[in-house]
Amino acid sequence: MLIFLMRIEKIELIGFKSFSERTAFNLHPGITCIVGPNGCGKSNVVDAFRWALGEQSAKSLRGEKMEEVIFNGSSTKKPKGMAEVTLVVSGMGDPTQDNGNDPQNFTSVTRRLYRSGESEYMANKSVCRLKDIKDLFLDTGLEVKSYSILEQDRIAAILNSKPQDRRFIIEEVAGVMKYKVRKTEAQNKLEASRLNLQRINDIVTEVKRQINALDRQAKKAERYKKLSAETRTIELKLAKRDYHALRESLEKILAEYTALKENEVLKKAELTKIENISETNRFGILEKEKALEVIQQEFRDAEKAIAETERAIAVLNTDRDNLKEYLAKLFTQREEFETKRNELSEKLGELNGTETRLFGDMEGLKEELRLKNELIESVENELSEKESSVDSKRRDVFSASEELSTLRNETGRMQASLEALERKEAALIKDADDSKKVLGEIDLSIRDVEGSLRDKNAEALLLNEKKSVYTAEGSSLREKIEHLRDELSKTKEDLASNISRMGSLKELVLDAPTREILQEGSNLHIVSSLSDILNVDPEYEKAVENALSEKINSFILKSLADIETAISTLKSKGSGRMSFIPLDSRTADELSDVPAGIIGRAADFVRVDAEFAGIAKNLLKNIFIVKDLKTALAMRESGNNCFFVTLDGEIVEPSGIVIGGEGRGVLKRKRELREIEELIGQKTDSISMLQEDINRLQQELSEKESGIKDIEAAIVDAEKEMSLSKLTSANYQEEKDRTDRKLAYLAIEVEEIVREKESLKNMISEKEKAISAGESEKSAIEKDMAGLLEEIIQKKIDYEEDRSHITDLRLSITAHKEKIEAVQKETETTGNALEELSQKDNLLSEEIKSVEGRISQREAESGENEEKVKVMVLNADRLREDISARKEALEQENQQMLSYEQAVKALRHEIDALTSKVSSLDVERAEHRLKIENLTENIRQNYGTEIDSLETEPLLPEDEERLTELKQKIQELGPVNLGTLEEYEELTTRYEFLSKQQEDLNRSIAELEEAITKINSTTRKKLREAFDALKIKFSEVFLSLFGGGRAEIILTDESNILETGIDIIAQPPGKKLQNITLLSGGEKALTALSILFASFLIKPTPLCILDEADAPLDDSNTGRFSRMLRELSTNIQFIVITHNRVTMEASDYIYGITMEEPGVSKVISMQLAEA
């Protein structure tokens, strides 16, 4: 057998469960028993070992949450903040190295858990990971779930579990745990690689589709770029012309504005001067008011202090009176102590006299006892001589009786043997008859089992077909779920894009002043914005928006009063300018004559709600839409002094002013915003529906997978029953052959019994004659012995009377001793009481002195506080007079402030008149600046350049006509994605990168599949070798532990040893072959231990912990169990938690665990190996 050099040297616990202090279990080779009463904490040692190896389940540690392993305190000990367990292991390392399994090579493994929830793992006091700890013990037999840690419940679980759950036994024996771990890691990587490959394949397909789609768009974008470049050149020329005209007009307005502003500044300076004087006076008044408040607070504090001091005086007086009452009680108590002291002194004298008298009486009784003892001694010698003679006679009688008994016993045994032979003869005849009946029953059973086997085989075929159907349906559901998830992901991306676009449009639509007004919306009674109420067809958006110009950003308010409030808000915050429209605007008259050649009135192409109809009509009255600028100019030349706007947004005003260029596109953006909001709602609904479909399909998939598991379980059960049926059939056939052999054997046995009966009858007759002669000899000896016994009886009566008197004397002496001891004890008690009374009297005197001092102190403090009150009253009167004077001075200064405020009011009236004129010019200046800013911003946004630095060629007469032609061509191109060329190049690069990733993943998958195949091959070989070895050893160990019978393990699926389960068949001696679930508790325990010990014989583990594994065993089974432990302990350390004395006797070391204090375990050790 392999000698396992690795050994557990020590387990050390600190604050783990009931082990509050540092507790160490030094483990030695051989068997170590841990004993103690129920509930003392024995099983906590097993929990500590498993916890240190990395157990993560609190339930496996007999708890609800992991924090419960920390010592939670007792009646005298506080809870611990940390639990720690350390395992010290020797001989751990690589056996191929020189010192790999050196017994002196120690490794410590530690696990800590803090009450905060933090935990640590350490190897040789260095912090490490849980995985490192698990790797350290991998395939050593010391893993958390290995069979080296076996509790009573787990013994039952080994036999009651499913065959699939039992396969861990041969996996442990085969040492394939590291291969399973590697295989699992490889399978996880393989699954991840396949998922990545599937995702990349989908992405590659999508990228290829996008490349094909972008090829046509890229060519369209190239043409768009050429047309846009020429359009840009012409539009920049027109913008430069308009920019210079606006700048010249703005300079004239600024000159007049500056003059008025200077006059306004002078007036404001004068106003500021008066306001500063007024503010200075106001500040002075505030300072004086604050000073007055301070003095008033001082006055209130003084009154409060007087009240508090008076309350303190009352408290001190009450305390003094209470102390005087207490002092009177102390004097009374001292008088009582003096009376009690006198009584105790008298009692002490009486006790001393009683003690002297009792000592005299006891000495007389002792002398009488000595004389009686001498008399008894002579009687005892005479009795001894006579009893010796009786003993000699008794031995003769006993010898004769023994000889007679032997003869009678031999006769009885012969008679019993004769009766037994007769019973055996009858039993053999009956057994032969029963065996003939059994043969018939066995033939019937064989036919029944074969029929059941055919039924189960058909059932297994049907279940496999049903499993195939469920598997195919499950695959189809997975494909549908993946398709829906892709669609869901794409919809979410579209939703996010639309939300981002909506945010951008809102930023473009809302400038700073607009946001300011919207923030005040509830206070200003905003009904809506003008751009929100207008619904215009896309082809007329430019015309309507440019016709309204800056008014498109106006807000509709309920009334003129709300408009005044809004304008005040803009002024106070310096937020710029804004247009407002009252909701109750009056409808203006329109021209009755409509010029010929127009498309229509602008108002006819706008749709608004009824409440806003008047506003729309007022704003768009007498504005006509025409096809283009050429038409508008022609109609103007023909004498139509109307307001014309083209479809591209150019304006011809009645004054002759022509306005052109690109607008801000507010209506277009508002329309896009509404469309996107509607689209977002649709996408949100689509996401909800897709998620519901996915959830529904996942539910169906879960049901299918659950169905497959049920079917697989049913298949395993059917195959298990088929294997059991085959085995049962073979057993029946074997039993039939055995019964035939038994019938032949029974015939021979009956003949032999007849011969034995005749021989016994002859021997019984001879023995009966010898018994009659022995009885006569015995009677003569008994008669001589009777005479001696009568003499002894009389002597003993006299002897017993003397002994009774001696006993009475001794009892009297003992009684006197007890009385003396009682008197001495009472004397001591009385003396102690006198001493205690003296001490109390001394303490009482000290307390009286203390109370008298406290009374004097209270009277002194009360006098001091009364003096303080007099001083405080004088100070409060002084503060009251100061407050009155300060109030009169403040009243005079407030009158002066009224005159300053009247002067400020007059100046502000003059400034308001100037401000009105300045505001009028400011409006014109702002309008020009806004036009310049809009023009500048349009150029900046559309062309990315500044109009001030723009250098263009002179504007040609045909440029405006060419611009119209270019826009028409661009419009004919339709929507164009300008980023198509760059996107096309990026997609091509990405396609090449993804193709390379496809190759790498395919290569990685092939390598992982090859590695899994090699692992499976190695694992299969090791499992087969381990199973064959375990099958032989299990049968041998079972025979040894049961003292007979037979048992074996079988595979539920011989063809698939990597996944097969294990069935256990056991036949204890004297029983029929049966399923292990029908065995008794003790038989189940021995069967499970047989598997465990058989595993150890093939692959020893460094340590085995058995927690009350011997509990179900009787004494004989426990003896065999202990002998097996002793054999295995030469190579394996055993820790056995037990209550069984037989197991304890087999141990080398014993640790006793007790609970001297409830909730706290204490350890006591004992070495037994040398004894």
The answer to whether residues 1153 and 46 touch, using CB atoms and an 8 Å cutoff, is no
Mean pLDDT of all residues belonging to the chain = 76
CA distance 656 to 659: 10
In sequence order, what E strands does 612-697 have?
623-626, 643-646, 651-652, 658-659
pLDDT in tens, 587-606: 545 555 556 667 777 777 77
The reported pLDDT for the residue numbered 203 is 80
The answer to whether residues 106 and 90 touch, using CB atoms and an 8 Å cutoff, is yes
Which residues face 535 on adjacent strands?
A: 607
Average pLDDT, stretch 553-578? 69
Reported confidence tier of residue 501, pLDDT bands at 50, 70, 90:
low
* Highest mean predicted confidence (pLDDT) among 307-311, 692-696, 871-875, 1138-1142: 1138-1142
CA distance 757 to 764: 11
Is 154's pLDDT higher than 90?
no
CA distance 49 to 1105: 9
**What's the burial of 48, exposed, middle or buried (CB within 10 Å: 0-12/13-18/19+)?**
buried
Average pLDDT, stretch 533-543? 73
CB atoms under 10 Å from CB of 804, counted, come to 9
The answer to whether residues 35 and 1145 touch, using CB atoms and an 8 Å cutoff, is no
Closest by CA position to 1138, among listed 1151, 1154, 1124, 1120? 1151
pLDDT in tens, 811-842: 777 777 777 777 777 777 777 777 777 777 77
pLDDT in tens, 157-169: 777 778 877 777 7
CB atoms under 10 Å from CB of 461, counted, come to 12
* Distances from the Cα of 177 to the Cα of 148, 430, 1093, angstroms: 14, 56, 20
Q: What is the dihedral of CA 1137, 1138, 1143, 1146, to 10 degrees?
A: 40
Strands 1160-1167 and 1149-1157: antiparallel
pLDDT above 90 covers what percent of the chain?
3
**Ramachandran angles phi, psi of 122, nearest 5°:** -140, 140
Strands 535-536 and 606-607: antiparallel
Which residues face 1064 on adjacent strands?
A: 1049
Laid out side by side, the sheet with 1046-1051 consists of 1046-1051, 1062-1067, 1074-1075
CA distance 984 to 333: 111
The reported pLDDT for the residue numbered 1070 is 74
Number of H helices, E strands in the chain: 18, 25
| DSSP code string of 188-241 | HHHHHHHHHHHHHHHHHHHHHHHHHHHHHHHHHHHHHHHHHHHHHHHHHHHHHH
CA distance 1066 to 734: 16
Reported confidence tier of residue 547, pLDDT bands at 50, 70, 90:
low
The reported pLDDT for the residue numbered 128 is 92
Reported confidence tier of residue 171, pLDDT bands at 50, 70, 90:
confident
Average pLDDT, stretch 623-633? 78
Query: Rounded to the nearest 5 degrees, what angle is found at the Cα of 198, between the Cα atoms of 197 and 199?
Result: 90
**Out of 60-74, 104-118, 361-375, which region has the weakest mean confidence (pLDDT)?**
361-375
Helix (H) or strand (E) holding 769, with range, is helix 666-943
pLDDT in tens, 218-258: 777 777 777 777 777 777 777 777 777 777 887 888 887 78
Is 93's pLDDT higher than 70?
no
User: In Å, how far from its chain's centre is CA 232?
Assistant: 64
Closest by CA position to 997, among listed 288, 351, 457, 203? 203
The reported pLDDT for the residue numbered 168 is 76
Instruction: Look at the pTM and tell me if it is higher than 0.85.
Output: no
The CB-based long-range contact list for 972-975 (8 Å cut-off, 24+ gap) reads 973/220, 973/223, 973/224, 973/227
Cα of first residue to Cα of last residue in the chain, in angstroms, is 28
More confident call, 1023 vs 449? 1023
Reported confidence tier of residue 670, pLDDT bands at 50, 70, 90:
low
Average pLDDT, stretch 279-306? 79
